[in-house]
Amino acid sequence: MGGAFLRYNEGDMLRFSTAGESHGEALTALVSGLPAGVTVDLEFVNRELWRRQQGYGRGGRMKIETDKAHVLSGVRHGKTIGAPIAIELVNRDWKNWEEKLPVEAGDPAKHQAVASPRPGHADLAGALKYNFPDARYILERASARETTSRVAAGAFCKLLLAELGIEVLSHVTRVGRVELERAATWDEIKAVAAKEDVMLSCVDAETEARMKAEVEETSRTGDTIGGVFEVVVHGLPAGVGTHVNWDERLDGLLAQAVVSIQAVKGVEIGRGVLGSESFGSKVHDPIYYGEAKADKPTRFERHQNNAGGLEGGITNGEDVVVRGFLKPISTLRRPLESVRFDTREATAASYERSDICVVPAAGVVAEAMVAYVIAQQVLVKFGGDSVLELKRNYEGYLEQIRRF
């Protein structure tokens, strides 16, 4: 993201990176640039990790793992101290892979090769690029297991946003052919995220039952299925992001963050896709000057939100709405045609085990990515080395737009 933040010193930016392989000893996340004084609720972080593991259509691996954040640094006495936060997330499955994937040379006879690349996965492109004789090391890092680290890092970004009353949640609007055919309210999305039985994270019970049947039918035929999730940012004021440089526009930053998630092939801001088939008079959100509201700093308001809270790459004070379009998982129980790496003979693509549907989990990952981008841009605008300083800057700005 080097070019994206020309106005700022990158070393001061909120940022995170991840390391770890799907069947290695552990995953890690390193988050730096959070101000001091953010209240850290580890129960919240672990619940976010739990939410990512849920959803109807997950495979056997989720029965092995119970993801928990082991915070090694940057948090003391329940608050951030401004120092980098290192998080370790242990892979329970490692005990089954220790000999197959040792750090040292180990016994080559125990290596478990991925002999034929899976269409749709990074297997073939990655093996060609890195000059590996099979796809094992590509799969290990390309795997969506990496998103555990993203959710851990994103949970810390959510904790920062919570200090300012900003929330980020998601719900599922499509599984395969079954679509939610109405808008969801913020309260409905909150209720879905609070559920203990996540199922398919749809706000409408009848639609969710049909989504479940769609997953069941997919499972019966040894196939996989994709869908659409929607992430909503609630409580963000107008004025975050900027129109002045292409690589600082918030819509572009959000799109990059969401499309980087494994299996996401498309991103929509607000009702962008619908807008492309309609007239301007039907799409753009008329502006009204309304009543003062406790949860809104300005009286400029809209009665609809097709723009998804973003105009010109800047928030306009409405909820930010980002949708991600997920392809079906590329590991199929009934594998597609492929070719053996060693003999070049036609064969079925490799199969070990897989999920059938991961749309609710991908939504949780996208919440983390969106929370990261929003937290980063909030800090760019309001700054501060401590939460106290950030809040003072933030309140001052809210007052400014209230008086506009």
Judged by the rule CB under 6 A, the positions of this chain that interact with ligand EPS are: 22, 59, 61, 65, 139, 143-145, 148, 331, 352-355
Torsion over CA of 203, 204, 205 and 210, rounded to 10 degrees?
-110
Question: Which helix (H) or strand (E) is 59 found in, with range?
Answer: none
Cβ contacts of 125 within 8 Å, gap of 6 or more: none
Nearer to ligand EPS, 53 or 298 (CB): 53
- Shortest CB 265 distance to ligand EPS, Å: 15
CB 85 within 8 A of CB 75: yes
Nearer to ligand EPS, 159 or 349 (CB): 349
How many angstroms separate the CA atoms of 362 and 261, rounded? Answer: 8
Strand partners, 170: 231
- Shortest CB 118 distance to ligand EPS, Å: 8
Question: Which helix (H) or strand (E) is 310 found in, with range?
Answer: strand 310-311
How many angstroms separate the CA atoms of 244 and 226, rounded? Answer: 36
- Shortest CB 236 distance to ligand EPS, Å: 28
- 3 state SS of 2: helix
Strand partners, 167: 234
Nearer to ligand EPS, 80 or 147 (CB): 147
Nearer to ligand EPS, 132 or 300 (CB): 132
Nearer to ligand EPS, 126 or 239 (CB): 126
Nearer to ligand EPS, 91 or 207 (CB): 91
* Cα–Cα separations (whole angstroms), residue 106 to 100, 103, 136: 8, 8, 15
- Shortest CB 145 distance to ligand EPS, Å: 4
How many angstroms separate the CA atoms of 349 and 159, rounded? Answer: 42
- Shortest CB 368 distance to ligand EPS, Å: 13
Cβ atoms within 10 Å, residue 290: 13
State the burial class of residue 129 (Cβ atoms within 10 Å of its Cβ: 0-12, 13-18, 19+).
Answer: exposed
Nearer to ligand EPS, 353 or 403 (CB): 353
Angle at 276 between CA 285 and CA 235, to 5 degrees: 40
DSSP per-residue string spanning 154-204:
HHHHHHHHHHTT-EEEEEEEEETTEE--SPPPHHHHHHHHH-SS-TT--S-
- Shortest CB 341 distance to ligand EPS, Å: 17
- Shortest CB 313 distance to ligand EPS, Å: 32
- Shortest CB 64 distance to ligand EPS, Å: 8
Nearer to ligand EPS, 116 or 377 (CB): 116
Nearer to ligand EPS, 129 or 293 (CB): 129
Three-class secondary structure assignment of 121-155 = CCHHHHHHHHCCCCCHHHHHHHCHHHHHHHHHHHH
- Shortest CB 37 distance to ligand EPS, Å: 32
How many angstroms separate the CA atoms of 364 and 158, rounded? Answer: 12
- Shortest CB 121 distance to ligand EPS, Å: 7
Nearer to ligand EPS, 121 or 234 (CB): 121
